[in-house]
Amino acid sequence: MQANSIDPDSGTASSLAADALMVARMRLVLAVSALLAVAVDLADTHQRIGSAVWLTFSCYAFYSLGVYICTRRGHPYFHGKAIHWFDVLWFTVIVYATGGIGSLYFLFYFFAILTSSFRWGYEEGARVTMASVASFASCGLGTIIGSDTPQLLMRTTFLLALGHMIGHWGGSKVELRRRLSFLSQVSRLSNPRFGVARTIASTMEKTLAFFKASHCVLLTRDTANGTWIMRTLRHSHEGEPVDVETIGRAFESPLMALDAGQVVLRNRLPWPLNRLLVQDHAFDLRLRRWCAQDEHGLRRSAAVTAMLEARSFISAPLPLRQGEGRIYVSSSEGLFRKSDALFLEHMMSQVFPVIETIGVLDRMASEAASKERLKISLDLHDTAIQPYIGLKLGLSALRKKAAADNPLVDDLDKLASMAESVIADLRHYAGTVKHGADSHCEFILPHLHRQAARIKTLYGIEIDIHVDGDVHLDDRMTAEVLQLVREGLNNICKHTHAHHGCIHIGCTADGRLQIRIENEASGTDFSNFRPRSISERAAALGGCAEVSQGAGGATAVLIEIPI
């Protein structure tokens, strides 16, 4: 059951540690209470209790004390599942030592069932329940007599039934906590400055991870042109960008054939159960109830399963105001449940209206920005490019006046070359501002290498570039990163005497882009400052920038941006 298993890491580390400490505390209370109960029973009945019973309860009390101390000190091993299984073993020894089938201490098994179910979910609780029933039954196999048989059957049935109920409710609690955590993550959408594409890709990545699925396919169609866009993300290609494919009107696919008003669930059971039972369900959004699929619906679901090469899939329509769409989540190993399908539909109904709003605002901002870009490009030409052109002409005239043996000839040539390079950059920038950025940006590494080569030519500064792992950025993010790096390198060239610098770019495990721009100390003392322009750009992207001292007194600017 890969698709609907409960992830223990869904909660925060602090909440898991708090739960483990509470369980350890209650285990110690239970052990001490059992030891006191034995002592009180001995005083009331004036009977002799065997040394095995005293030894068992005393050892369990010391064991509980040790687990409590280790848990309080934060040892991660005592936060795991193994402790519950040790409890089952201890309770089996206690039941055996206190009379087997007739022992009232069989109720201790419910402690292990409760803690495992409410911490790890239904599957772990069911395993502990079955182990408890088997252990309790094995205690009386060698000593059971005819009169004990009804008691054995009654107690094992009671343990099994109540344990199953506890596991179900505990699993519901853990799954609800996991879903709430997932909804809070999805609600924190990507920065709208990066566009709708990045937001949709982030939603697909989180959906694929939540359901532990193998594929996530998103189909959208714009009613204006009738063109379908299919986005595909595979678990085996984790860390890579979402595949985007445009499909024409004439193309037909089983993915487009499902009823737009239904949430569909299909599980293909293992052989020979698949010959007897096919789990194919549809939830009608208009009637708000589950209903059986007709023959055409069954064929369409079978075609989707074959196309996705999946054992099971769930699909839900997208609530789009200007178009239609559908999402498919498929698994090649696990099975989905009806609650998974309904939760997928609920999640899409929460996320996609916000995504559509981002798209509308993005188009409105683009239309307004196009007019503003034209004005800015004209201002750049008049206020920045023209003075540099005048400077270049003045340097050229001064160069012609200088004799061939003038010692300033090389410096004048270098200044003229720098002015010409700046003019070319300003003209390129003005054209970019006027017509907008290219619809497609190359990978960031070639741009950085060209920038480093230009700095080496003009300023003689060596710039090393390091990209850790696979860093995939969309067009907008590439443009933002290049601008941040360009400003950092300009600061090195204009405000330091360094002859060497380096750039590190990488992504952290929690989905944050890190940019580190560092320059050597060059004999000056480190001074703490705030790069205003870089800090403001990083803050506009939802990130931050800070300055720190690197190895050997170097100055390093660290920029972090959530992507």
Rounded to whole angstroms, the Cα distance separating 305 from 293 reads 15
Distances (CA, A) of 468 to 240, 450, 507, 514, 561: 14, 19, 8, 10, 16
Distances (CA, A) of 538 to 264, 478, 488, 534: 43, 14, 12, 6
Residue boundaries of the structural domains of the chain: 8-184, 190-361, 445-563
Distances (CA, A) of 126 to 85, 299, 356, 493: 12, 36, 43, 66
pLDDT number for residue 432:
65
Q: Are 280 and 301 in contact (CB under 8 A)?
A: yes
pLDDT number for residue 524:
63
Rounded to whole angstroms, the Cα distance separating 555 from 546 reads 11
Please tell me whether residue 415 adopts helix, strand or coil conformation.
helix
- In this structure, what are the phi and psi dihedrals at residue 516, rounded to the nearest 5 degrees? -120, 115
Distances (CA, A) of 76 to 72, 87, 102: 10, 18, 37
pLDDT number for residue 42:
60
* Token couple for 59: 């050892």
**What are 284's strand-pairing partners?**
262, 289
* Token couple for 79: 């936060």
Give the domain 445-563 fold: Heat Shock Protein 90 (3.30.565)
Rounded to whole angstroms, the Cα distance separating 258 from 317 reads 9
Question: Distance from CA of residue 412 to its chain's centroid?
Answer: 56
**Residue 493's CB: how many other CB atoms inside 10 A?**
16
Give the domain 190-361 fold: Beta-Lactamase (3.30.450)
Please tell me whether residue 449 adopts helix, strand or coil conformation.
helix
pLDDT number for residue 276:
57
Rounded to whole angstroms, the Cα distance separating 330 from 313 reads 4
Rounded to whole angstroms, the Cα distance separating 183 from 172 reads 16
Distances (CA, A) of 152 to 136, 146, 225, 343: 9, 10, 71, 42
Which residue carries 């293909």 as its tokens? 268
- In this structure, what are the phi and psi dihedrals at residue 129, rounded to the nearest 5 degrees? -60, -50
Least Cα distance to 557 among 522, 495, 515 occurs for 515
**Residue 62's CB: how many other CB atoms inside 10 A?**
11
Please tell me whether residue 7 adopts helix, strand or coil conformation.
coil
Rounded to whole angstroms, the Cα distance separating 455 from 458 reads 5
DSSP 157-183: HHHHHHHHHHHHHHHHHHHHHHHHHHH
Least Cα distance to 193 among 374, 419, 366, 439 occurs for 366
Omega of the bond prior to 272 within 30 degrees of 0, cis?
Answer: yes
pLDDT number for residue 11:
46
- In this structure, what are the phi and psi dihedrals at residue 235, rounded to the nearest 5 degrees? -65, -35
Per-10-residue mean pLDDT of the chain, 563 residues long, equals: 42 71 90 83 54 83 91 82 89 85 85 90 90 85 64 86 90 87 74 72 88 90 79 78 75 80 85 64 88 84 87 90 88 88 90 80 67 68 71 76 74 76 71 54 68 81 82 70 85 82 83 85 68 85 83 82 78
Rounded to whole angstroms, the Cα distance separating 351 from 78 reads 38
Rounded to whole angstroms, the Cα distance separating 139 from 15 reads 36
**Residue 14's CB: how many other CB atoms inside 10 A?**
8
Distances (CA, A) of 221 to 86, 93, 319, 330: 55, 64, 12, 21
